[in-house]
Structure formats: structure tokens, C-alpha cells
Amino acid sequence: MEYEKFQQLLESEYTFPVKYLFKFVMPPSLETEVLKAIDGGVLVKTNSSKNGRFISLTVSKEVFCSIEIVEVYKRVALINGVIGL
């Protein structure tokens, strides 16, 4: 992910502070690790895949600038097996 372009897009689309929705897909075993990486987010929704091998998480977090969003995505990107949407 090109973080600079993403940050510019966030700046043009949102007025901060905002409740941002983070969305990720991962094996169920990584859910706790991802929630820790988001640090302070509120779990909104969890869905399991048909065969149960993957889950999707939607997490809401109040952020005060685009850099906070980018930093969350950078932390989660370090967790092997997680896809950010």
C-alpha cells in the first residue's frame, strides 16, 4: 500500500476527528492480535466465512488525523495473514 497517497485520500475525504471503520480479513486465530494493533477500537461486526477458515472484522475507532489511520494499517500489516480492506 502506498501510504502517502492513502493519507492524501483520507485528508480529502474526511473531516477530522471522525469515527473511522477499519476492515480486515484473517484467520480467526489472529483476531485478538489485530484488535490489539488497532488499540482502542470498538468491534462493530465479525463475520465468519462459510467454511470457518476466515473471519472479517469491522472495527470503529475515533481518530483525530489521517496519520492515525495510516499507523493502524502499518501495525496490522506486520501481522502475517491479515488483509486490510
- The tens digit of pLDDT for each residue in 50-63 reads 999 999 999 999 99
Place of cell 463475520: 47
How many independent structural domains does the chain possess?
1
The whole-model pTM stands at 0.88
DSSP H or E segment with residue 50: none
pLDDT surpassing 70 at residue 1: no
Place of cell 502475517: 80
C-alpha cell of residue 53: 477458515
Spatial distance between the Cα atoms of 63 and 66, rounded to a whole number of angstroms: 8
User: What Cα–Cα distance (Å) separates residue 79 from each residue in 8, 15, 30, 36, 45?
Assistant: 24, 29, 8, 11, 20
For residue 37, the enclosing domain spans 3-84
CATH number of the domain where residue 63 is located: 3.30.70.260
Residue type, 32: T
